Structure 1
């Protein structure tokens, strides 16, 4: 029997049952008994009785329960606009369409409402729900902290050639910083494109690439070697990071962008006439992607709205990089008439550090050296620009003097004697301008979070150096952190070059940059039976296979690298920057 016939038969049977119940009540049967016998409520019996009295037998049939009016129903013109957008852009989902409606000021519609409209109009293809693999998502907290770089193929020309393209995306903002088509994807071509991008947007703090031969010489047949890309990163202070082999999800942002590029451009345009035509088409599409196309991962904001280029103008030149003038040449250039005004004559005198930790120069002019030096004999060399203070025969502090020729004359009347040549370079604050290659140093004590105060701003150095005294060396667009005579890390400089001389306690660097620390922090852990070890309060799963063995864990800026006898076992992202407090593995004595 067809379904419609079965439904009609059921409706007829339902009317017949109601009619019999009404007849029993009209013949004198109690309503409660009739309701119990037919399995309904007393209110239903009364309703059927009233409907029968008003319209007879046919009034007992079911009527539509649809409301007479729907004030909140989507207007027909808005529903038509939703369908029009979907047909014009088949890849737009409900979220994108709702965003575009808001931008057009057509209506403010939720994503669920748009989805229902698409569903009832047959514009959504039903598909089986899939449960994709879950990945640990991560993102840098600010732009220019990390660039993801990769090479992608699929750029076909009319003559049959297939070209590759160097692509780069900013990890925080998803802003595409590199999209250059390469006729030959050699190491030199990759480096040239990378350097051009840095000249436009500045030098990033880190770059993340796969293990391609253009990016690293780690897997060369003759042994590990430094390739051109690694050399350029080193000379520009860029921390070059590599993904784990066969782990494309680590650079998931750039891989996902490749998929969008193929779907929205490459799959529809076909072969390009020549390489310049391909580059122009991709450049136009990237410009729209950065500034016009909303990104769902950014809460429908455009990448350009979140991206901020670095403050430094240009990176270092491509290899071979020109050598920077030596410190002696820099010091002689800084002492010229363009930087310092002529001196009226320096003076020097001996004094004692006050109980407050200050060295008194004149009236309210004083320099703080610390209460731990209270009562110590100090030797002071001072002119209109700079004050050098010696404690125990060693230069302790160099700062700006703020004295004029009359003040120096008053010091002479009080016993100060004419001084010889400057014992050290001038304080940076006393300079009115500095060449770009000038290196400035400041001493800072980090707070409990590993941050330093620099130019009125808090600069995050790292929790591993919390409450430590470090030397911050500002060299062009880079900030070198020196701790215990070693280069601890290199960060982007937060200050423009013309603001360095205004830093409190700044001085001109007199020595070369110290060597870097030999390797990252290394700790040891004994793997328990469950295969999980703890480092800085973070659980790292190594595996029960290695239970009872001692593994070496390298604690780096963004991840933990677990190794055993020189072989890498696992790579875990570092969730929080807690300092390391335990270095050796705990080996308990066996129970007797």
Structure 2
């Protein structure tokens, strides 16, 4: 349409599509239902040309613009660096969310990233978007209920060092040399760390309020990828190190 292709998937092959278009946004509809919305590439002259080619005056947009200050939502996939694209802005969500499809609730001052299935709050960031930017976002819709933070512990995995020490949320926990090299599951709450080992669970009090940044334990390197180096041996500080 007007020199641009719009992807709808092979399952919709042969279906008639109606375009609602202005210079800001294009909505694609099938049987009156909005399928997707994209930023418009059309000028006033393009719209006039479409009218001459059989276009007709459009009614109200299928997705009314949000009132000033009203929350809206979009769905985005977080890239490998932990960021999402919102119009002309690349906004950091969290590196730990890389590759994950999330919802973004957009309010006047904040962006709330949440799980699409449970509406669990994942991260909150400042909102860099102007009202005009928000109205032109692809796939924008009226917001649902505010996402809520998780209330249970966050399970993570850590691999003990050669001296039986694990590091989680910036805190070292000594498990003993009998656990050297083992991977353990740790449940993290605001106040405690519960480490599950072969000998049973062990709970220690947290000493800081750092957020969880990594869920999975780092995999040990394979022998084939190791590189020999020369120099003094590293100090055994209780934490597993990689050298290359």
Which residue of structure 2 aligns with residue 472 of structure 1? 104
After superposition, residues 415-430 of structure 1 pair within 5 angstroms as 415-416=54-55, 422-426=61-65
1:509-558: per-residue Cα shift (whole Å, max 9, x none)?
A: 2433344445453136798995424669x88424339969x9752358xx
Q: Which runs of 5+ in 1 are unaligned?
A: 1-359, 429-433, 583-592
Aligned length: 210
Instruction: Determine if contact 1:478/1:490 at 8 Å carries over to the other structure.
Output: no
* 1:396 maps onto 2:31 in alignment: no
Instruction: Determine if contact 1:522/1:552 at 8 Å carries over to the other structure.
Output: yes
Instruction: Determine if contact 1:488/1:516 at 8 Å carries over to the other structure.
Output: yes
Pick the aligned partner of 2:204 from 533, 549, 569. Answer: 569
After superposition, residues 195-206 of structure 1 pair within 5 angstroms as none
Provide closer, same or farther for how the CA distance between residues 501 and 374 of structure 1 changes in structure 2, counting only shifts above 3 A: same
Pick the aligned partner of 1:492 from 116, 125, 129. Answer: 125
Provide closer, same or farther for how the CA distance between residues 447 and 568 of structure 1 changes in structure 2, counting only shifts above 3 A: same
Instruction: Determine if contact 1:554/1:560 at 8 Å carries over to the other structure.
Output: no
1:79-115: per-residue Cα shift (whole Å, max 9, x none)?
A: xxxxxxxxxxxxxxxxxxxxxxxxxxxxxxxxxxxxx
Q: Which runs of 5+ in 2 are unaligned?
A: 218-244
Pick the aligned partner of 1:541 from 173, 181, 187. Answer: 173
1:147-197: per-residue Cα shift (whole Å, max 9, x none)?
A: xxxxxxxxxxxxxxxxxxxxxxxxxxxxxxxxxxxxxxxxxxxxxxxxxxx
Q: Give me the whole-angstrom Cα distance separating, in 2, the residues matched to 1:474 and 1:484.
A: 14
Instruction: Determine if contact 2:107/2:127 at 8 Å carries over to the other structure.
Output: no
Which residue of structure 2 aligns with residue 379 of structure 1? 17
Q: CA RMSD in A?
A: 4.9
Q: Give me the whole-angstrom Cα distance separating, in 2, the residues matched to 1:391 and 1:553.
A: 49
Which residue of structure 2 aligns with residue 511 of structure 1? 144
Instruction: Determine if contact 2:113/2:123 at 8 Å carries over to the other structure.
Output: yes
* Structure 1 position 382, deviation (Å): 0.8
Instruction: Determine if contact 2:93/2:125 at 8 Å carries over to the other structure.
Output: no
Q: Report the TM-score when normalising by structure 2.
A: 0.58
Provide closer, same or farther for how the CA distance between residues 457 and 581 of structure 1 changes in structure 2, counting only shifts above 3 A: same
Q: Give me the whole-angstrom Cα distance separating, in 1, the residues matched to 2:88 and 2:49.
A: 34
Provide closer, same or farther for how the CA distance between residues 551 and 401 of structure 1 changes in structure 2, counting only shifts above 3 A: closer
Provide closer, same or farther for how the CA distance between residues 438 and 412 of structure 1 changes in structure 2, counting only shifts above 3 A: same
Pick the aligned partner of 1:450 from 82, 100, 103. Answer: 82
Q: Give me the whole-angstrom Cα distance separating, in 1, the residues matched to 2:5 and 2:150.
A: 34
* Structure 1 position 466, deviation (Å): 0.6
Q: Give me the whole-angstrom Cα distance separating, in 2, the residues matched to 1:528 and 1:445.
A: 34
SS in 2 for 1:464: helix
Q: Which has the higher helix share?
A: 1
1:426-482: per-residue Cα shift (whole Å, max 9, x none)?
A: 4x7xxxxx52x2223344332212122345444321112112233322212111112
Q: Give me the whole-angstrom Cα distance separating, in 2, the residues matched to 1:368 and 1:568.
A: 55
Q: Give me the whole-angstrom Cα distance separating, in 1, the residues matched to 2:44 and 2:35.
A: 25
Which residue of structure 2 aligns with residue 580 of structure 1? 215
Provide closer, same or farther for how the CA distance between residues 447 and 566 of structure 1 changes in structure 2, counting only shifts above 3 A: same
Which region of structure 1 is more displaced relative to structure 2, 464-473 or 491-500?
Answer: 491-500
SS in 1 for 2:17: strand
After superposition, residues 160-559 of structure 1 pair within 5 angstroms as 360=1, 362=2, 364=3, 366=4, 368-369=6-7, 376=13, 377=15, 379-384=17-22, 386-390=25-29, 395-401=34-40, 403=42, 407=46, 410-411=49-50, 413-416=52-55, 422-426=61-65, 435=68, 437-454=69-86, 456-485=88-117, 486-495=119-128, 497-498=130-131, 500-501=133-134, 504-505=137-138, 507-519=140-152, 521-523=154-156, 530-533=163-166, 540-544=172-176, 552-554=185-187
Instruction: Determine if contact 1:388/1:395 at 8 Å carries over to the other structure.
Output: yes
Higher relative contact order (CA 8 A, sep 6+): 2
Provide closer, same or farther for how the CA distance between residues 448 and 417 of structure 1 changes in structure 2, counting only shifts above 3 A: same
SS in 2 for 1:501: helix
Q: Give me the whole-angstrom Cα distance separating, in 2, the residues matched to 1:404 and 1:457.
A: 23
Which residue of structure 2 aligns with residue 15 of structure 1? none
Q: Which has the higher strand share?
A: 2
Q: Give me the whole-angstrom Cα distance separating, in 2, the residues matched to 1:518 and 1:394.
A: 37
Q: Give me the whole-angstrom Cα distance separating, in 1, the residues matched to 2:111 and 2:94.
A: 13
1:105-153: per-residue Cα shift (whole Å, max 9, x none)?
A: xxxxxxxxxxxxxxxxxxxxxxxxxxxxxxxxxxxxxxxxxxxxxxxxx
Q: Give me the whole-angstrom Cα distance separating, in 1, the residues matched to 2:136 and 2:154.
A: 31
